Structures are given as structure tokens and as C-alpha cells.
Amino acid sequence: MTSTARQAAAFGAGLVIIYTALISSADAITKLIAGGYAAPQLFCLSGLMVMGLSVLADRYPSQRLGLRTQCPRAMAVRSGATVLAAVSFFYAFKFLPFAEVFLFIGMMPILAGLMSGLILREHVRPAAWMALVAGFAGMLCLFPGGFGSVSIGHVFAMSAAFFGTLSMVMARFIGRYESNSLAQVFYPNAAIFVTMAFALPFVWKPMPVTDLLWVAAYAGFLFGARWLLVIALRLLAAYAVTPLMNLQFVWMVGLGAVFFGEYPAANTYLGVAIVIGTGLFLVWDQFTKPEQRKPLFDLSSVFKNFRTDP
């Protein structure tokens, strides 16, 4: 790896670390708001705010690239996945302890390894399949009483991990063809705003100024986090970015304890250790054995036409 590449990788890793602090703060606000409001109310307002921040940021002279995308269909896939992930995370935080949701977030490096092979032709090694099995075993630690203890919150958390990973992998796919990171922030939030606006009249509740300020803070954290993540995904492979996101567990345990009085049980720590370990093993395998093999499955032909020619 050249000196320039190492510097870019280090810069990308630093951005991901900042991202974890911002997104964990946004998640904490999600859990706070979920106790009193429906998902469309938070996401419609925050989506509009993030769109506005994207437009304002694009007015900065050194950033002024417009919001046009060269990959409209791929952007549509990313936007749809972002909407589904946001709603799933909202209800996961509503029904589950804060740190427990992380166990599913910790599965994202493994899912990213698999999706990168299918979509990005960053091929799927056998180690990725082994890591997926081990990660599933880690999730089982949440259910010492068997699958009868699986709740709707766990279903939402798994859905959030899947669609959140798909959104990230599509961000890296788009980043191969364009460098306009703000477009990747604007359009997913525009999709969230439009989708939630249809449901908003049926669930709207008057909000005091304090709660509106919380929504504004959520939008600010989310805007910063998503912008930084898109840039990081241009600098680092998806499978290298997502394990760094394991730092979220530290933030989430701290925030859960301070603001929600939640302390993870021993089985949660065990599950997290297994999931994080498998994610780190996957990164080690990718870096130490870089030789190419034919993927078991290849969806790149499906996605190769998901952009327009410049």
C-alpha cells in the first residue's frame, strides 16, 4: 500500500470514528422521540431539515457541485433501502434496549462482506459465510430461552441491519462513478420526507419547542453522520468501514446507561463479543488473503447498468 493510500485509509478510518459518535447520538434521540411520537413525525420533519442542510452545504464555494446524480437507478435503490432501514431502526429502538440493538448493527460487517461480493464484485470469500454463521450464533445469545423469546423488536432490528447495509453498499457503488457526496445525503432523505409525508396527517401530534429542538438536533447529527460515511465509503471498502462501526457499542452502552438507565445483561455482552470477533476476522481475512476467486454468486451484472453514462 502506497503512502498516499495509507493516508487516505487513515483519513477514512477517522471519519468513521466521528461517524459512530454522531450516529449514536442520533440513535439516542430516536429512542427518546419514539416514546411519544410515531415514526413519520420524526422522519418527515428531520428529512426536510436534512434536505435543507444539503442544499445549504452545496452553496459553499468549494463544495458547489449541485445535487445531480449520474446513477439515478442505483440512487433509487439506496434511497428505498434507507427509508426501510430508518423505519426499522425507529421501531427497533422503540421495543428493544439501546445496546441490544447493537448486536444486530454488529452483523453489518458480515452482511457487507456478502453484499460487496454480490453487488460490487468485491468477491465473497468462504470466510464470509463462516463469519455469517458465527454472527448468527452470537445473535442467539440474546435468546437464552429459545426462539420463543424473539420479539417484534428483534425482527425490526434484523430488518434495519439488512437494509442499512444495503444502503451503505449502494453508497460505495455510486461512489465509484461520482464524487458528489451531498447527492447521496439529499436523495435518501428526500425519499424519507416524501414517504413519511403521506402518513404524517394520520399520526401528527403537536410538539413543544423542546421536542422540535430534539428533532433539529437529530437532523444535524444525521446530516453530519451520513455525509461523513459517504466520504469514508469512497476511501475504504465497505467490509473495512463497518467493523470500525463497532465503536458504536461503546457509545450506545454509555448513552443507554446515562439517559435511559439501561445496562446490558451478560448474554448481550457475550453475543456482542462473538459478532465483533467475526467481523474483525472477516477484515483480517480480506487484508491478508487478497487473491481473487470467483464469487459464489454475482449480481454485478444486475447493477452494472444502474448508472447513466456521464
Q: pLDDT for 152-174, tens place per residue?
A: 988 999 999 999 999 988 988 88
Mean pLDDT in residue range 21-50? 89
Number of domains in the chain: 1
- Asked, for residue 4, whether it belongs to a domain, the answer is no
**36: CB partners within 8 A, 6+ apart:** 205, 211
- Asked, for residue 309, whether it belongs to a domain, the answer is no
Band (pLDDT 50/70/90 cuts) for residue 46 is very high
Q: Is residue 48 within 8 Å of residue 223, measured between CB atoms?
A: no
Band (pLDDT 50/70/90 cuts) for residue 215 is very high
Pick the closest to residue 238 from 76, 84, 108 (CA basis): 108
In this structure, is the dihedral angle defined by the CA atoms of residues 189, 200, 24 and 266, taken in order, positive or negative? negative
pLDDT at 251 > cutoff 60: yes
Pick the closest to residue 279 from 100, 117, 122, 135 (CA basis): 135
Kindly report, residue by residue over 219-250, the tens digit of the pLDDT: 999 898 888 887 887 776 666 666 666 667 67
Give the pLDDT of residue 292.
Answer: 46
pLDDT at 93 > cutoff 60: yes
pLDDT at 62 > cutoff 60: no
- Asked, for residue 51, whether it belongs to a domain, the answer is yes
Band (pLDDT 50/70/90 cuts) for residue 264 is confident
Domain residue limits at 256: 10-303
Distance between CA atoms of residues 184 and 226, nearest Å: 8
Poorest-pLDDT segment among 71-75, 92-96, 170-174, 237-241: 237-241
| C-alpha cell read off for 148 | 420463543
Confidence (pTM): 0.75
Give the pLDDT of residue 199.
Answer: 92
